[in-house]
Amino acid sequence: MSQLGYLLIAVGVILVLLAIFFVTFVLYRKTPVPKGCEKLPSAESCSKCGLGEGCALNIYAKKEDPKK
Amino acid sequence: MNAYAYLVAFLLAVITDLLVDNVVLSRFYGICSFIGVGDQVKSASSMGFAVTIVIILSSAICWPIYYFILVPAGLPFMDTLVYILVIASLVQAVGLFIKKNSPALYKSLGIYLPLITTNCAVLGVAQSNTDSGLLAGQTLAENFGFSMASAIGTSLGYLLIIVVFACIRTRLETYSVPKAFKGIPIALITAAIMALALVGLAGLGS
């Protein structure tokens, strides 16, 4: 097969991967959260480095005092 | 390479990546989740298992894409982009499966499930498997086998270290640590001592 053929296949594979990502993303969002898991912390609250305040991964962030 | 020699080389590759060349303590990948999640054994083991599955599956998918599609097309420089797409899709698919079929596991993993996408250990393993290229006299099938050995060893190494680290930190909670060392400082000192222990195994895989 010529290099152009491989190039077209590569572009096709990348497009298929993109399509799979968007389909799984939409399906993941549309799938209802199982019972009892409604109050889990959201991934959006993560600061990636785990050092930000309000991040579920960060065990040293300031926690709210339950007495207040 | 005969079957026996190949099996021995495969097992040595697994052990090397598991202990000697550990992904967290030697290559410093996945430090964020290592420090962040490594305070509770349950969270650490859940995260470790999820990362293990994703590393093995993504390596098994990324290797053929690189050697059978990107290299013949003259696009090996696109590898990082393609690997990120594969990993992101895989994490979404695994998450979707768990969300639909196993609510208990979904609750146990919680926030950690989508965060696997940002774990650099997953991308690092897929990248290093293809960056090394084919060795002299090595067939593609052998190279794929060693890549899988590396993926299995690396992921099990991540799981082992994060769980052991969580166990040590759980015990440290009961000890009287000086105030200046409480929290992250003592965790980093613990990680350093663990890394020194693994250095003692250097030469095992050679």
Per-residue pLDDT tens over the stretch B1-49:
788 888 888 898 888 888 888 888 888 888 877 887 766 788 788 888 8
Angle, CA of A32, A38 and A44, to the nearest 5°: 90
CB < 8 Å to B85, chain A: 14, 17-18, 21
Asked whether the beta carbons of A6 and B69 are under 8 A apart, the reply is: yes
Name chain A contacts of B106, Cβ cutoff 8 Å. 34, 37
In a domain, B205, yes or no: no
Dump pLDDT digits (tens) for A13-39. 999 999 999 998 898 888 887 777 766
- Determine the structural domain holding residue B18 and report its residue range: 3-199
3-state secondary structure of B186: helix
- Chain A residues touching residue B69 (CB < 8 angstroms): 6, 9-10, 13
Banded model confidence at residue B66, pLDDT cuts 50, 70, 90: very high
CB contact under 8 A, A57 and B65: no
Q: Give Cβ neighbours of residue B54 (< 8 Å, ≥ 6 apart).
A: B87, B90, B91, B94, B116, B122
**Domain count along chain B:** 1
Would B151 be classed as within a structural domain?
Answer: yes
In a domain, B31, yes or no: yes
Q: Note whether ipTM > 0.85 here.
A: no
pLDDT in tens, B110-168: 667 777 777 888 899 888 888 877 777 778 888 898 899 999 999 999 999 999 998 98
Question: Which residue numbers of B have CB closer than 8 Å to A's CBs?
Answer: 32-33, 35-37, 39, 65, 69-70, 72-75, 78, 81-82, 85-86, 88-89, 92-93, 95-96, 99-100, 103, 106-107, 110-112, 114-115, 118, 183-184
Answer whether residue B81 shows pLDDT above 80. Answer: yes
Is residue B206 a part of any domain in this protein?
no
pTM, full prediction: 0.80
Q: Is residue B19 part of a domain?
A: yes
pLDDT tier at B106, thresholds 50, 70, 90: confident
